[in-house]
Amino acid sequence: DAGVIQSPRHEVTEMGQEVTLRCKPISGHNSLFWYRQTMMRGLELLIYFNNNVPIDDSGMPEDRFSAKMPNASFSTLKIQPSEPRDSAVYFCASSRDRDYFSYEQYFGPGTRLTVT
């Protein structure tokens, strides 16, 4: 298996521009997570999908952030408009969860976002 695939790996954009991050989870996994990691705040869960349905989006910073999962093999995280404080590494992870018991999460390589 190729593991969790994220694209792009690096993104540099100017403040105000729209940014779209993409994720392909591991086939057969039914849960997908978007995280953001910064030195100051550590690893933060932004949103979590189960069977393509958003379950918990309480970590989404504000309305500028949105996430979709149109099918079991694809998810996007969009920031519009982007701001310098959004600069971080964004990770996508997937897992095979069952009956409210969490199994190990498999992380993608991350997207390093820099907003100037």
Strand-pair partners of 98? 101
- What's the sign of the alpha-carbon dihedral 14, 86, 91, 64? negative
Per DSSP, 86 falls in state G
Query: What is the Cα–Cα distance from 55 to 107, expressed in whole angstroms?
Result: 19
Query: Which residues inside 58-97 make contact with other proteins, applying CB under 8 A?
Result: 91, 93, 95, 97
Site string for other proteins, 36-65 (x = CB under 8 A): ------xx-x--x-x----xx---------
Q: Does 109 bind other proteins (CB under 8 A)?
A: yes
Exactly one of 33, 65, 82, 94 binds other proteins (CB under 8 A); which one? 33
For residue 81, the minimal CB distance to other proteins (Å) is 27
Query: In this complex, which beta carbon is closest to other proteins, that of residue 82 or of residue 95?
Result: 95
DSSP for residue 16: T
Upper half-sphere CA count for residue 87 (Cβ side, 13 Å): 11
Query: Is residue 24 classed as helix, strand or coil in its secondary structure?
Result: strand
- Binding of residue 14 to other proteins (CB under 8 A): no
Residues that bind other proteins (CB under 8 A): 4, 31, 33, 42-43, 45, 48, 50, 55-56, 91, 93, 95, 97, 100-110
